[in-house]
């Protein structure tokens, strides 16, 4: 692996991606890579303020989508792009596919408007359209995720949505994967933590040797 890599992690709430992202950060560092570990919405002081609003205030779907993309623009220019320019491995807990899945799939917001916003927001000096090199999708049936979440902390605005919302989010991810099959690695999160970790490493190794 000789160049900067941008890896995003996706899935419905309760899919259990956080522990694996942290594990991967250590995994890369043990192999001598510099890692930037970050998340969306958020990753900068201003984008974290947008996150606070997006996750806890109810709002019109367009406002919500704009807020996600506003946070993304801020994050891209101030964290992701500089990290990639330094040659870091960037591990990002959610990126633009989450907007398509949650606002597009879950909320039913206009897909083509999201595509226009994506083109505008992800155009950066280094490239016409910044996208992750690899997106690991922790896929889980919403019923299983709901069971896992029921024992977790107080739910935020999205986590408290009904099952049907998450079915639509899942379909949103599937639609994104269909459009960019090479970028996506779909992993079943409905197995033991060790099983998921093995699949994550396999996806990383496969992407690096491709």
Query: Is 13 among the residues that bind ligand TYD (CB under 6 A)?
Result: yes
User: Is the distance from CB of 199 to CB of 25 less than 8 angstroms?
Assistant: no
94 binds ligand TYD (CB under 6 A): yes
Residue 92 near residue 8, CB atoms below 8 Å = yes
- Stated length of the chain: 210
41 binds ligand TYD (CB under 6 A): yes
Q: Judged by CB under 6 A, does residue 177 bind ligand TYD? A: no
Under the binding rule (CB under 6 A), the answer on residue 99 touching ligand TYD is yes
Q: Which of 6, 76, 12 minimizes the C-alpha distance to 41?
A: 76
Query: In this complex, which beta carbon is closest to ligand TYD, that of residue 123 or of residue 148?
Result: 148
Written as six digits, the tokens of 122 are: 């992800």
Nearest to 33 by CA among 6, 7, 9, 1: 1
Residue 94 Cβ, how far from ligand TYD at the closest point, in Å? Answer: 4
Give whichever of 156 and 205 is closer to ligand TYD, judged by the CB atom.
156
Distance CA 72, CA 96 (A): 8
User: Which of 28-36, 95-103, 139-147, 170-178 is the region at the interface with ligand TYD (rule: CB under 6 A)?
Assistant: 95-103
Binding residues for ligand TYD (CB under 6 A): 13, 18, 40-41, 55, 68, 93-94, 98-99, 102-103, 158-159
């Amino acid at each position: 692996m000789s160049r900067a890599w941008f890896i995003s992690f996706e899935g419905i709430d309760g899919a259990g991606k956080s522990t694996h992202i942290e594990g991967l950060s250590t995994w890369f560092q043990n192999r001598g890579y510099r890692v930037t570990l970050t998340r969306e919405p958020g990753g900068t002081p201003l984008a974290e303020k947008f996150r606070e609003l997006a996750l806890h205030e109810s709002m019109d779907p367009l406002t919500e989508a704009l807020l996600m993309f506003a946070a993304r623009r801020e994050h891209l220019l101030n964290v992701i792009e500089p990290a990639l320019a330094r040659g870091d491995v960037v591990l990002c807990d959610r990126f633009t596919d989450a907007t398509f899945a949650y606002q597009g799939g879950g909320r039913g917001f206009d897909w083509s408007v999201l595509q226009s916003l994506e083109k505008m927001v992800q155009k950066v000096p280094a490239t016409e359209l910044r996208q992750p090199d690899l997106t690991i999708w922790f896929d889980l049936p919403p019923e299983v995720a709901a069971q896992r979440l029921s024992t977790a902390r107080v739910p935020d605005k999205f986590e408290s949505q009904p099952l049907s919302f998450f079915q639509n989010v899942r379909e949103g991810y599937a639609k994104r994967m269909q459009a960019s099959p090479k970028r996506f690695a779909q992993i079943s999160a409905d197995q033991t933590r060790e099983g998921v970790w093995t699949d994550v490493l396999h996806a990383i190794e496969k992407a690096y040797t491709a």
